[in-house]
Amino acid sequence: MKIGKGNKLAIFFISIGILLGIIFLALGLKYRKEIFVFHNAIDSLPTQIYASDCGEIEYLRVGTGEPLLVIHGIFGGIDQGIANVNGIFPEGYDQIFISRYGYLQSPLPQDPSPQKQAALYVCLLDHLGLNQVTVIAHSAGATSAMELAARYPDRVKALVLVSPNAPGTVDVTLPPQAVAQTMFHSDFVFWMITTYARTSLYGTMGVPVGYSLSPSEKELVDSLVQTVLPVSRRGDGAIWDMFVSNPAVSETEFGNIQAPTLVVSAVDDPMALYQNAQAMSKRIPNAALLTVPSGGHMLLGQNELVIGTIRDFVSHP
């Protein structure tokens, strides 16, 4: 039987449709399997929720010894905080990891501010029976960490700010807030990007333009890119950081920070610019600046310098 041109065209499009259906089915199954792993990794953390008049905060306490409050950066949570200090602190520390407003199981209140976030930290410390802690904060976490040190100076023994958010101009262009609201709550969108266009996020992670990643550094960056997932459980916090908390750093009373402070910043950081960190360190009365020659926001290739300096500072602030 002879098949007409119209029928051939119909068969062609049907075949294409079936093929696309199979591809999307396979893609959907792969997505569901892998995103389950990311959700399960978070759910398996033995965290606790502390609820008080100050608000609710998720925390995880690990180890015994000198108390250390670890405050994560943007697109983070307790899991990012753990990764941030991995390998820095040996035994002998009581590490308190928290999820900031809008991250994982810490809800974003109706009228959040870095000042209220700092007050919530104090309520948590009271609940844990801790009078004073050393604080280490990364990136966007620096804003509320400095509010804690400025407003409650007797509660902070020492302050470490790594690649910190600081007042000044930035080279980062923010997406429209409406776009961010959609994207930063879509696990599928971010899964597609991290799976099939991972290198497009390198700049977002703070890898300088033109920086040549070694194989081990590429493996590290790739693993950190995936910690954004599941973004749906970090989206509220990330949007608040971008549009409210990060700009609010200019309101910090830096002169009220009494604790010995270490500011760590790379000269080529494309996100939290070195000149901003340098200027901020001069406004904090008892601050020292560690200038890292390269490595971008993640301080790539600088473990020996950075870890050694932070360890020494925390041991003898």
Length of the chain: 317
pLDDT band at 141 (very low <50, low <70, confident <90, very high): very high
Report the DSSP beta bridge partners of residue 159. Answer: 135, 261
Per-residue pLDDT of 254-309, as tens digits, reads 999 999 999 999 999 999 999 999 999 999 999 999 999 999 999 999 999 999 99
Per-residue pLDDT of 179-227, as tens digits, reads 888 889 999 999 989 988 888 889 888 999 989 999 999 988 988 888 8
Which pLDDT belongs to residue 5? 52
Cis check: omega of the bond before 230, within 30 degrees of 0: yes
Portion of the chain with pLDDT greater than 90, in percent: 74
pTM beyond 0.85, yes or no: yes
Which is nearest to 240 in space by CA: 137, 98, 116? 116
Which is nearest to 206 in space by CA: 74, 309, 101? 74
